[in-house]
């Protein structure tokens, strides 16, 4: 049985107060909180075996190397990659997307087409726009509907022999919509187009199987998975990773160096120049261990309870409009109340101890579609409670009364 009170004991930050009120943390889509076991892993690294990896014969270096590569194997197993060397450790989702975009610069030419969804975070738009400017390729957009779902009929019409790459988020960070990535991947592959899925918002709620999806690239960040900031992953099929050139040059990514010629290391080191975030990688593995111990089926079921309950309570507030009403979504609610600016609501909620996100959520095209400046976004995690939602709703009603 899932016991949220027992889970909450694992997160020390949930005991703190903000402005004299118990913290209610509903900004999980921006970053999740960190359980004690992950904090302990970070402390253990710096206390007992802090050393550079892959380069030393001394004991600390060997211990750190072993722990780092063990984490890579944990990530490989979690995402069901075929090989551990298909897991490239990055500084996060944005870094991973830019690595792929940079690599495709050598594979694209004028007349080629890329397809992006209208539901993307800026980090899955801007790198591809920059790539199109460099190569002469063009960018096509899968439109969205009023419900915040993709127009799949139009997507199928956009695909053609010139399509080289399709990129889409698994879950919208602004609306919580779960996109039909299986259909997107299968359709793209019929035209021999590669597919990159941004899993940053999906992976806290869904355990993706990259082999079952048959996806070419999948990217995610540890800090949304109860891990530390500054570390993430790029999964790539071996065949694609071998086609792409190194993202940057430096130590670790080489086989041999001379002033006449340099040869590159094999996977995954070809894409991991320089000293990585060693502690972050190890802690990423610990975070996955923790979340798997809780259970992703249990997490998904409980978070859906929170989503349904919060939606029911919020819909009772006069003038409140929810954006993103797909029947298939994660525990995210984006809303506005009348003509009140979302920032003003967020500022008052903060004074009452409640952390939400306000603004366009790095998804400005979505806000432009709805013709709004932004939204208030409440995003829930498996350590949140219905009692916290009640506190949030009462505080929101108070804020609305003050601002009306």
Kindly list the catalytic residues.
Answer: 362
Q: Taking the C-alpha atoms of 156, 157, 163 and 167 in order, what is their torsion angle to the nearest 10 degrees?
A: -50
Write down how long the chain is: 404
Of 231, 239, 244, residue with least CA distance to 215: 239
Task: Measure the CA–CA gap between 378 and 330, rounded to whole angstroms.
Answer: 11
Q: 113 and 140 in contact (C-beta within 8 Å)? A: yes
| CB neighbourhood size of 41 (10 A) | 24
Widest CA span of the chain, in angstroms?
Answer: 72
| DSSP-derived pairing of the beta strands 375-379 and 332-337 | antiparallel
The 3-state secondary structure of 256-270 reads: EECCCCEEECCCCHH
Task: Measure the CA–CA gap between 94 and 126, rounded to whole angstroms.
Answer: 10
Q: 349 and 400 in contact (C-beta within 8 Å)? A: no
Which residue has 């798997």 as its token pair? Answer: 292
Q: 323 and 149 in contact (C-beta within 8 Å)? A: no
Backbone angles phi, psi at 127, to 5 degrees: -60, -35
DSSP type of residue 276: -
Strand partners, 336: 321
How does DSSP assign 6-67, residue by residue? HHHTT-GGGG-EETTEE-EE-BTTT-----HHHHHHHHHHHHH----SSS--SHHHHHHHHH
DSSP type of residue 245: P
Task: Measure the CA–CA gap between 72 and 22, rounded to whole angstroms.
Answer: 37
């Amino acid at each position: 049985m899932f016991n949220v009170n027992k889970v909450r004991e694992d997160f020390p930050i949930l005991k703190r107060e903000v402005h004299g009120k118990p913290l209610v943390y509903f900004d999980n889509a921006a970053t999740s909180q960190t359980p004690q076991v992950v904090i302990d892993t970070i402390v253990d690294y710096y206390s007992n075996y802090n050393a550079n990896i892959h380069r030393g014969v001394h004991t600390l270096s060997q211990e750190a190397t072993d722990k780092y590569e063990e984490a890579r194997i944990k990530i490989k197993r979690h995402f069901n990659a075929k090989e551990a060397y298909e897991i490239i450790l990055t500084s996060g989702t944005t870094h991973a997307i830019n690595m792929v975009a940079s690599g495709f610069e050598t594979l694209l030419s004028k007349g080629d087409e890329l397809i992006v969804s209208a539901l993307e975070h800026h980090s899955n738009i801007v790198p591809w726009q920059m790539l199109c400017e460099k190569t002469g390729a063009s960018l096509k957009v899968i439109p969205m509907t009023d419900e915040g779902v993709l127009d799949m009929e139009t997507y199928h019409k956009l695909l053609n022999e010139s399509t080289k790459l399709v990129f889409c988020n698994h879950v919208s960070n602004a609306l919580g919509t779960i996109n039909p990535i299986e259909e997107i991947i299968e359709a793209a592959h019929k035209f021999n187009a590669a597919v990159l899925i941004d899993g940053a918002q999906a992976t806290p709620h869904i355990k993706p199987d990259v082999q079952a999806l048959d996806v070419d690239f999948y990217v995610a960040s540890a800090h949304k998975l109860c891990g530390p900031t500054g570390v993430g992953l790029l999964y790539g099929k071996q065949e694609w990773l071998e086609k792409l050139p190194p993202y940057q040059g430096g130590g670790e990514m080489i086989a041999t160096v001379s002033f006449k010629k340099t040869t590159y290391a094999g996977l995954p080191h070809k894409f991991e120049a320089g000293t990585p975030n060693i502690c972050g990688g190890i802690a990423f593995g610990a975070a996955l261990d923790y979340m798997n111990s809780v259970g992703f089926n249990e997490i998904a079921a409980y978070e859906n309870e929170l989503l349904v309950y919060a939606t029911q309570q919020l819909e009772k507030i006069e003038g409140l409009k929810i954006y993103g009403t797909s029947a298939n979504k994660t525990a995210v609610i984006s809303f506005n109340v009348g003509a009140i600016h979302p920032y003003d609501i967020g500022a008052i909620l903060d004074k009452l101890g409640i952390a939400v996100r306000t603004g366009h959520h790095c998804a400005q095209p979505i806000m432009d579609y709805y013709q709004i400046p932004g939204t208030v976004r409440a995003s829930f995690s498996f350590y949140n409670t219905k009692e916290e939602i009640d506190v949030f709703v009462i505080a929101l009603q108070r804020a609305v009364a003050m601002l009306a």
